[in-house]
Structure 1
Amino acid sequence: MDGFIAINKAPGMGSTDVVYKVRKIVHMKRVGHSGTLDPAVNGVLPIALGSATKAISRLQDSGKIYTGSITFGFATTTEDMEGEVVERTPLTVPIPDERIDAAMQSFIGDIIQIPPMYSAVKVNGRRLYDYARAGETVERPQRHASIYDFRRTSATRFDADQGTQTFEFSAHVGKGTYIRTLAVDLGKRLDLAATMTQLTRTESGGFVLEESVTLEQLAAAAEADQLLTLVRPVQHAYAGLTSYALADWQWESVQHGNFLKLPSTDDELILTYQGIMKALYKLDADGSYHPETMYLSNSFGGDNSAN
């Protein structure tokens, strides 16, 4: 199989744990994931099978949508509920909703984030969470992030006893954005400690939560010999690109990695043979197309949707 399956990851397991379990279910070694989800986060985790692993970077280029909750009044080491409380700024009165909304809107656009210490970002060859677990500090690199939408989706709930204020939110962001850090930075903008108290990814790589399947559902489909009904073809990662159907003689040429003159001016073309994607070709300055990514062994061209 070559293609993508959208897994609805349950809380409590890492993204690599999901890959390991999928490998066992589908009996394939070449399996990868697009867009890491922290263990505490649930939701859409696109899984690539076979040659579709070559398209993971393209899948990651598309935006991601999250829903969750943010609480003002305390901060943790991990910026979520997995860590220990390290700061408290108890609220005696609730922050007006209008002020929260204005602060959230101020993040729309391109921003700079400092990744959390408990993250997989590498500094000097080591993951930041390795430094954190060892009690070491290190200068963290700045990262660019794109925020397309960030809004409150519920009334705020003020807890006078705990000195906290909580609300639900939705966020549409570009790749590499840390929602935990977005929550913490929102608090800083309001001069408050803040924590991301819950998070679900509802869309990633063009997959939505409603069409994602659990590992148990995937295993049941495998047992019933119905795995292909859950697989999206490699073309899914190249949504919006034009497809060009190869003639027999052109397919022969593509198998040798040759350049092609094609009746198109698109920057990139999906080349198909007998309805199956076989290559991504890119336009040169001289008007010819050269191989960008090859999928010669791809044998799956269906357009199934996960149900």
Structure 2
Amino acid sequence: MQTPEDFLEGQILLIDKPLHWSSFQAVNKIKWLLKSKLGLKKIKIGHAGTLDPLATGLLILCTGKFTKRIPELQGQVKEYTGTFHIGATTPSYDLETEINERFPVDHISEDLLLKTVSERFTGEIDQKPPIFSAIKKDGKRLYEHARAGEEVEIASRKTTIHEFELTRIALPEVDFRIVCSKGTYIRSIAFDLGRVLQSGAHLTALRRTKIGEYSVTLAKTPEEFQNALTQD
């Protein structure tokens, strides 16, 4: 583990964010640990790309002077793994909200899934962010509009899906691995995939496994990071 001066000069920390933690909570926990365990009165720290509370996996934290590198890290290609549930939708496109509609899946075959992913969801695509997201519209977060029951027109945006692999098909569940550009919403891919299949779908599990060349296999949970600080 590095010295207090090393963290002030700048470090890149790979954190495996636990389920139900917000990215903000993870940053605050690591910041508190650095200050309390290393005797630092003040230290800058920030993350290079938010993860939803219902997602786990790689969160890159930058300390000290390395916080200037956050925009560069945010722009790198990301890899995710997870699970879609085919045949039902939720307003948030994931498990944050309850199922609001169910659809038949009898017409969906493995061949149809593979063909749809290959032809409609690889390369540059248009997608609309979920209404339950932190993007601002008219000075408010979209999720604030959603929770207030307000209808909002959301503009679509270009994003790039470099790789989209279905790793397990056991309807109604489908496991996936997706490599995509910055700003891609995997929840929106779930919703759009369900719609193209003339059914419905939502995201039930999500894990970020890579950001650029940084892998979650080298990351520490906040507890592991704390133990490493304490041991040293």
TM-score by length of structure 1 reads: 0.69
- What does the per-residue CA deviation read over 1:55-93, in whole Å, with 9 as the maximum and x for residues that have no partner? 1110111111011111111000110112121221133x2
Aligned counterpart for 2:218 among listed residues 205, 211, 232: 211
- Structure 1 residue 94, shift from structure 2 partner: 5.5
Identical aligned residues as a percent: 36
- Check if 1:200 corresponds to 2:214: no
SS of the equivalent of 2:100 reads strand
Amino acid in structure 1 at the alignment position of 2:86: F
Equivalent position of 1:148 in the other structure: 162
Report matched runs for 1:120-269 at 5 Å: 120-154=134-168, 156-158=169-171, 165-225=172-232
Aligned residues: 217
SS of the equivalent of 1:44 reads strand
Quote the Cα distance in structure 2 between the aligned partners of 1:205 and 1:14: 22
SS of the equivalent of 1:117 reads coil
Quote the Cα distance in structure 1 between the aligned partners of 2:185 and 2:113: 19
Equivalent position of 1:299 in the other structure: none
Aligned residues of 1:104 and 1:150 also touching (Cα < 8 A): yes
- Structure 1 residue 148, shift from structure 2 partner: 0.2
Aligned counterpart for 1:98 among listed residues 111, 115, 125: 111
- Structure 1 residue 29, shift from structure 2 partner: 3.5
Contiguous gaps of at least 5 residues in structure 1? 159-164, 226-307
Quote the Cα distance in structure 2 between the aligned partners of 1:148 and 1:201: 15
Point out the structure with max Rg over C-alpha: 1
Quote the Cα distance in structure 2 between the aligned partners of 1:222 and 1:211: 16
Quote the Cα distance in structure 1 between the aligned partners of 2:18 and 2:223: 11
Aligned residues of 1:60 and 1:205 also touching (Cα < 8 A): no
- Check if 1:62 corresponds to 2:81: no
Aligned residues of 1:120 and 1:129 also touching (Cα < 8 A): yes
Amino acid in structure 1 at the alignment position of 2:228: A
- Check if 1:76 corresponds to 2:76: no
Of the structure 1 ranges 130-139 and 176-185, higher mean CA displacement relative to structure 2 is found in 130-139
Which ranges of 4 or more aligned residues in structure 1 deviate by more than 4 Å?
none
- What does the per-residue CA deviation read over 1:83-128, in whole Å, with 9 as the maximum and x for residues that have no partner? 121221133x261111101111121111111110110111112110
- Check if 1:22 corresponds to 2:30: yes
Quote the Cα distance in structure 2 between the aligned partners of 1:34 and 1:205: 11
Quote the Cα distance in structure 2 between the aligned partners of 1:96 and 1:117: 30
TM-score by length of structure 2 reads: 0.90
Contiguous gaps of at least 5 residues in structure 2? 1-6, 36-41
